[in-house]
Each structure stands twice: as structure tokens, then as C-alpha cells.
Chains A and B, each alone.
Chain A
């Protein structure tokens, strides 16, 4: 006969496996025995599977569990403070920094497909480069490709380029080859040749200035070893995450080395990078991988020019996380849909920023005994992300961080102080160095595009409409005198864009 202790032990096992702690439960006593009932706001199949596993663990192989337990749908009065709400906060924080180990077996349950169908492209047997701002979901998309590759029995290599951050020497290529050879060695038969190549590369690595000619002479041998993939009709996928962090001057050269051994060998390169910080090809030397010819771009940016798409994407990501944590739709955690609309606007459509801000807004709301996330809590949370963005500027654009900071300060003075507006126009001129820096500030999410091409009446001139990141003047940095553009976060109107001040250096 089951005892209360048995059922409580079962509850503890369920809590441990589901990562929900302190769930509401009751033990119902009836004439036919006791049953454990655990209450969740949204008990999905995932939780029933966990419960089934816990029940099986109470008996031996092939035996039928005698304990009775089930899950019932019932929401705690304050979802933010419930076991499910606390798990959501933890989950959101965990999802901010995706790496190849993230989510593991739960990956597909947690992953939200892009609105643009980028997933079909990333699994294709082709070279791809995924462009998007920091937090746009580049690494997630690459990880999706990697998981799908494994599911399809393809060999995969994941390289976190952060290890080579700031490197200006093209011997990064040697390190990459060593990494690749180490990973493929167990899969290939030419172990002696691989061993020799590794020794040679290790020796070359010790030399201060890389001997490019020597490396070029090695390429046919590396290519030959890797040709086994093609000969056996197998596929190797190489994922290079955050490629932009290595020096821009060497990026195309490193790719040139890599591509010369992968091309035509059933080996495909998948890269994630920030576009304005990346150079895959040098037309003068014809070195590297040429966009559209050698490598196809997948763009992952949902900026504020398409607020509906950005809202749809961010809401579905938050919904997927909420469902994973046993919660209903994310809307149920907000005071109104305005909170989600504001979230999309302050995060400028960048998913990771949205998750981070929402998580912080949840924490603030719970601490003040609030029950639902409101517009003001989103505003305050967004202002707390400013420091992180400034640090990322140093990390991603170390070469010209000072110049970018100066320009950004100048833009803030122009818009917020001189014109009392958070939005402005800048003439589109790809040859202008200031304009090029502004594009970098957009990639670094300090500025956000609200219209990609508008005019003010000047013939032949096109302008980019931008807003300064909300975090710099809302919430704890509230600047009441600033006239917020599109405060109601509706579709941007052309006539409103024309009234914005034009920034000129």
C-alpha cells in the first residue's frame, strides 16, 4: 500500500526532473487508495512524459507502477512567483547565451523557427553565412542546423570563434585546421596522414609569423584527407559561430584557406556573423568566399521596419519558453498586449534583448509584489541593458570602439538634447565614413532602423530613419522632455518620418 512518503518522494523526483521546485500539490485519499495530484498552469505532454518516467522509476523493469499520480491544470494566483514562473525566469536567462551544449535533448522543444523560414536554408548542403545583429538568433539558427545535421547522421564540427577573438594573424587558419583534423580523425581511415598533418601544423603554429606559402603547400594534403567524406558520399558540416570577432583584415584569408579544402568535398561551411564587421572576400586579391557565388547569405534581422513580424517572432519565442516551463501563453503574464508591443519596440526586434528585458521585467515585478509585467516595468528593464550593450561594443568592435562611442554620444546630443526627439534621419551614403560607423552602431543595437529609405523632399536623396536605443532615455534614465517617436508602437507612418531632424556631420 502506498504511503504519503512514497507519493512525496515521487513529487520530489518529478520536481527534480522537470526543474520545477515548490509546485502545488495534494494527496487525495479515496477508498481505492491515495493519488498524488500536482497542479501546473499548463501541464503539457513534456510534463506527463516526465511523470511517466518518474512512475516507471518506482518499479522494476516490466512491472506496473502501483503509485497513482496525475497532473491538473490550475494556475497559481501569482504566476510570476509560481514554480512555473521561476523556471521561466531561469530558462530565459539560460537562453541568453546559446552555445553548442544549450538545451541538449530539449533543443527542438525550445527552439522557435524564424518567420522567414531560415531553417530550410541552414540545413541545406550549401555554404551559408547568417547575418544579424547581436542577439538576433544567429547562433540559435546555427545550432538548429547542427542538431539537424546530427539527426541526419552528418558529421559536424562546431567552432566557437570567440576563442580567436581579436586575432589579426591568419595563422588562425592553422588553429582551425588543427581543430577540424582532431574532430574528424575518429571518422576517417587515414589516421597516419592525419597524424603527420597535425604534427606539421603544430610546428607551424609555433612560428611567430605564419609561412603562408608553406600552408598553401599543405592544403592539397589536407584536402586529400578530407576527400574521404566525398568519396564515401558522407557530409561534413563546419559551423563557425561569431566569425566577426577575428580581425576583419584576416577574415577573407582564413576563409580562403578553409574553402580551398572543403570545396567539392561534400563539406559545407556555415557561418554566423555581424554583417558590418565581416569581410568574407577581397575583390583585389580574389581571396575568400564571395557572397552569392561561394556562400549564400541568410538574413536574420527583424527590425522595427516590420514591427508586426518582429512581434510575431518574439511572442512565439516567449510562448515556446513559457510552454516549456508549464505556463500558458506569455500574454497571460502581462497586464495587456501593450507590454509585449513595448517589449518589441525597446528591444528593437532583437530576440535576445527581448528575452533579457522580459526576464528583468519579471524580476522587478515579482520583487514589488506585482502579478503581471507592465509597460513601465519593461521600460525600466530596458534601461538596465545599456551597460551590457556598451560592453558588447568594446568586444565586437574593439578596433574602433572609441570612435563609435564618440559618434554615438554626438548622435545622442543631436537628437535628445538639441532636438528633444529620440528619432532622426541620416542620408544614405555608403561611401561616407560616418554613415559606415552608423551602420556599425545599428549592428551593435545602439541605434535601430525604423525605415530603410525615406525622403524629405530633396531630389535624389534617400534617408535612413533611426531611433536611439530606448534604454538611454527611458526607465531609470527617463528623459521626460524627449518627444518619443511612435510612442504607441504602431505602424510607422511616412508623414511622421518626414518631420524628423536630419543628422549631418
Chain B
């Protein structure tokens, strides 16, 4: 991430906005909010890019399809969590939070469970040279369907919860 960047402040962006409210005028606050929403859109777009890449891969590339499906879901989750809480992290531990979606997110428990399973299978695909496709918990097609529905539900949720169109 190139400096200067709002996310490099390593600060919850909504807390930052609220604390600056008495220092800067409403125009600056609006600019800050626009910047936040732009970052949400960019994170979301990255997730979609991973998904589109996965969709274009030949079926035989099952490891890559699962891996890209995971990164698609992870970035989409990151966009949703950032949009709602204002928290952003580049730490590796953030991967364990992909299923920690905000209250009110549709099928919250289903996504929490399945994104965790997808993460485990992503590790299998990326790091276990001895694994074969039958070891996957869900099929390649099921993972693509999961990522697709997660993108759609997230898009609808961001619009309803924050008025963000992605």
C-alpha cells in the first residue's frame, strides 16, 4: 500500500472520523467518508477479480480454483467488515476472521461455517502437495457457488446497511 493512505494510519476509520469532527469541517468529513467507501469498493472489486479468475480456469486446475475462490471470499468479507466496523488489518490473523461477519448479514452462520471450511481447503490446495481432489470437503463447483452467493449477498448487504453500491 503506497503512502499516503488512510488505511496506513492503522486506526479505526470511523473513530478517526468521529474524533476529527470538531477539528475539520463537514466537507472534510464527507471527503473522509467518500474515501472510506472508495476503499470498500476497491476491496470488493479485488474479491470479484479473484472470483472471475477462478471462473475462467480450466476444471483440471482444481487447486487454483479453490484457492482463488477463497481469496475472493476473503476480500469480500474484508470489505464488508471494514464497511461496518471501520477496522482494517493486514495481519495474517485476519484470515481467521473471514467468517466473522456483522450482525444482520444473511445466512450468517452458514457463511461462518463454510468460509472456515473453504479456508482449510485453500490451505490443503496451496500447501499439501500430496492431497488429491477427493480430500476436499466441498466440490470445486460447490465452492464456486459459495463464492458467488457470498458476493451477491455482500453486495445487497452493503447497499442496505451502508448505502454503498458495489
Contact = CB atoms under 8 A, between A and B. Distances in A.
A35 B108 CA distance: 21
A49 B109 contact: yes
Nearest to B110: A48
B27 interface: no
A31 B137 contact: no
A195 B116 CA distance: 59
A236 interface: no
B124 A31 contact: yes
B114 interface: yes
A217 interface: no
B138 interface: yes
B109 A70 contact: no
A448 to B, nearest CB: 41
B107 interface: yes
Contact of B109 (A30, A32, A37, A52): A52
B129 to A, nearest CB: 10
A503 to B, nearest CB: 55
A51 B108 CA distance: 12
Interface string A30-52: 11100101000001110011011
Given A48-B109, A52-B112, A68-B120, A37 B137 contact: yes
A48 B130 CA distance: 31
Interface string B128-150: 10110001011000000000000
A28 interface: yes
A31 B131 contact: yes
Contacts of B117: 35, 68, 70
Interface residues of B, number: 19
B137 A70 contact: yes
B103 to A, nearest CB: 13
B113 A70 contact: yes
B89 interface: no
Contacts of A70: 113-114, 117, 137
A490 interface: no
The secondary-structure label for the interface of chain B is helix
Contact of B113 (A28, A31, A71): A71
B139 to A, nearest CB: 10
Nearest to B96: A64
B85 interface: no
A37 B112 CA distance: 15
Contact of B128 (A31, A68, A71, A72): A31
Contact of A45 (B110, B123, B128, B135): B110
Contacts of A44: 110
Contacts of B138: 72
Contacts of A71: 113
Contact of B137 (A35, A45, A49): A35
A52 B131 contact: no
Contacts of A32: 120, 123-124, 128
Nearest to B131: A31
A30 B138 CA distance: 13
Interface string A1-36: 000000000000000000000000000101110010
Given A37-B137, A45-B108, A68-B120, A31 B130 contact: yes
Contacts of B131: 30-31
Contacts of B108: 45
A28 B128 contact: no
Nearest to A30: B135
Output the residue of B113, B114, B123 with the most chain A CB within 10 A: B113
B137 A28 contact: yes
B124 A30 contact: yes
Interface string A297-322: 00000000000000000000000000
Contact of A48 (B107, B123, B128, B137): B107
A70 B142 CA distance: 14
Contacts of B128: 31-32
Contacts of B96: 64
Nearest to A35: B137
Contacts of B113: 48, 51-52, 70-71
A45 B101 CA distance: 14
Contacts of B135: 28, 30-31
A49 B124 CA distance: 26
Interface string B11-50: 0000000000000000000000000000000000000000
A71 B116 CA distance: 12
Q: Which of A28, A31, A64 has the most CB of B within 10 A?
A: A31
Nearest to B139: A72
A328 to B, nearest CB: 16
Nearest to A29: B135
Contacts of A72: 137-138
A10 to B, nearest CB: 13
Nearest to B130: A31
Most chain B CB within a 10 A radius of its CB, from A28, A30, A51, A64: A30
Interface string A43-65: 11100110110000000000010
Contacts of B112: 48, 52
Contacts of A51: 109, 113
Nearest to A55: B113
B123 to A, nearest CB: 7
- Across the A-B interface, the 7 shortest Cβ-Cβ residue pairs: A48-B109, A48-B110, A49-B109, A52-B109, A45-B107, A70-B117, A30-B135
Interface of A: 28, 30-32, 35, 37, 43-45, 48-49, 51-52, 64, 68, 70-72
Given A31-B130, A45-B108, A48-B113, 9 more contacts: A31-B131, A31-B135, A32-B120, A35-B120, A35-B137, A45-B110, A48-B110, A70-B113, A70-B114
29 contacts: A28-B135, A28-B137, A30-B124, A30-B131, A30-B135, A31-B128, A31-B131, A31-B135, A32-B120, A32-B123, A32-B124, A32-B128, A35-B117, A35-B120, A37-B137, A43-B110, A45-B107, A45-B110, A48-B107, A48-B112, A49-B109, A52-B109, A52-B112, A52-B113, A68-B120, A70-B114, A70-B137, A71-B113, A72-B138
